[in-house]
Chain A
Amino acid sequence: MISLLDSEAFILSLVTGVYLLSLWLYRKTKIPLLHPVLVSIPVLALFIRCTGMPYTAFERGSRIIDFLLGPTVVALGYLLYEQVSQLKANAVSILTSVFAGSAVGIVSVVLIARWFSAEPALIASLEPKSVTTPIAMSIAEKSGGIPSIAAVAVIVVGIFGGIVGPFILDRLGVTSRIARGLALGSAAHGLGTARAMELGAVEGAISGLAIGVMGLMTAVLVPVIEWMLG
């Protein structure tokens, strides 16, 4: 029985099954806080604790799924290519706006976390919080952060940004559809894009583009800003 619990076949079907169930729950209820990632992680953590499965066994068993993060980041290059016509028309303004947003995002997170005297590993985990999860986790790992904290922070930021984003943009008088989509995708990655698509097709497409550009800019800026802030 113990050997079955530890087997790759069991762990892979467990992770996929729990995820599919949480996805079903999320689509049924449409409650943002029931995001499949926020449900699956505690359910699996609880399962590991209750069965007494060693975490290393879980890690070994789910390695194939974990590996797919890398190819997924590469595949984002294809999605970026699909949006390239959007980029061509507004290249300078889009690159400048996302660059500014990425820099402000990283610096503000570092300064606020330092003000709370957070540990360096925690700060490094929060720096890529506006970036799509697979990119955020590799950035966090590179800069000495904890990838799992980065993953959870990214999802929380995405849910928060998707909910408050349109409200903030209204208050600031940002009416341009390109600007609204770009802001949502830059700050709240895929969850912001899902919200942007509800606003309209232009907002959705630009928001998808913003995910890739923001990921690239942040990957470059994190080491630079870390060096500048000492």
Chain B
Amino acid sequence: MNALPGIFIILLFYALGEGAALLLQGFIPGSVLGMLLLFAALCLKWVRPGPIRPVAKFLCNNMALFFIPAGVGIVDALDILSARWQAILTACAVSTVLVIAVVGLTQQEFERRRNRPLPERKPERP
């Protein structure tokens, strides 16, 4: 299948997202807005998912390659990294545990409440 239509749609929504980011004065990155716009357009059936699927799969399956060039920029940040590694590791580890706990417990609590039969309403006092 020709990948070009899918590539075009994704690039177009990237450009739309960058445009929206300008309107929002850079509050949210353009690529994230592009993702939101593409998601909305797919849900509203404005674009067909068929041509996008192979391109999206290719990009997402090989995502790790795409951040290596920027990651190599770490050579410019080695001094801050070696001076601050305790802060980085502590903040990341503690915060990750908190996120797992908060998300897991909140979602489970929602499900527990929904599955519990509603308590009978007490008759109102006259």
Contact = CB atoms under 8 A, between A and B. Distances in A.
B74 A41 contact: yes
Interface string A150-165: 0111001100110011
Given A71-B11, A74-B13, A151 B70 contact: yes
A109 to B, nearest CB: 4
Contacts, number: 311
Contacts of A102: 99
Contacts of B94: 108, 112
Interface in B39-76: 39, 42-43, 49, 52-53, 55-56, 59-60, 63-76
A72 B62 CA distance: 9
A137 B70 contact: yes
A5 interface: no
Contacts of B28: 142, 219-220, 223
Contact of A77 (B13, B72, B75, B102): B13
B101 A172 contact: yes
A35 B84 CA distance: 22
Given A41-B68, A118-B87, A81 B31 contact: no
Contact of B107 (A41, A58, A129, A178): A178
Contacts of A84: 43
B99 A149 contact: no
> Binding site of A, secondary structure by majority: helix, strand, loop or mixed?
helix
Given A77-B38, A105-B98, A216-B36, A113 B72 contact: no
Contact of A112 (B13, B76, B81, B87): B87
Given A75-B10, A169-B104, A134 B68 contact: no
Nearest to A178: B107
Contacts of A74: 10, 13-14, 17, 31, 34-35, 38
B55 A109 contact: no
Nearest to B110: A93
B124 interface: no
Interface string B100-119: 11111111101100100000
B60 to A, nearest CB: 6
A160 B38 contact: no
B22 interface: no
Contacts of B31: 69-71, 73-74, 134-135, 138
Contacts of B35: 73-77, 80, 212, 215-216
Contacts of B60: 72, 75-76, 79
B1 interface: no
Given A15-B65, A101-B103, A135-B29, A109 B13 contact: no
Interface of A: 15-16, 18-19, 23, 35-37, 40-41, 44-45, 48-49, 55, 58-59, 62-63, 65-66, 68-82, 84, 90, 92-94, 96-98, 100-102, 104-105, 108-109, 112-113, 116, 118-119, 121-122, 126, 129-130, 132-135, 137-139, 141-142, 146-149, 151-153, 156-157, 160-161, 164-165, 168-169, 172, 174-176, 178-180, 182-184, 186-188, 190, 210, 212, 215-216, 219-220, 223
16 contacts: A55-B76, A74-B13, A78-B56, A92-B110, A93-B110, A101-B102, A101-B106, A116-B90, A138-B30, A149-B80, A149-B88, A174-B108, A179-B107, A179-B111, A182-B107, A187-B100
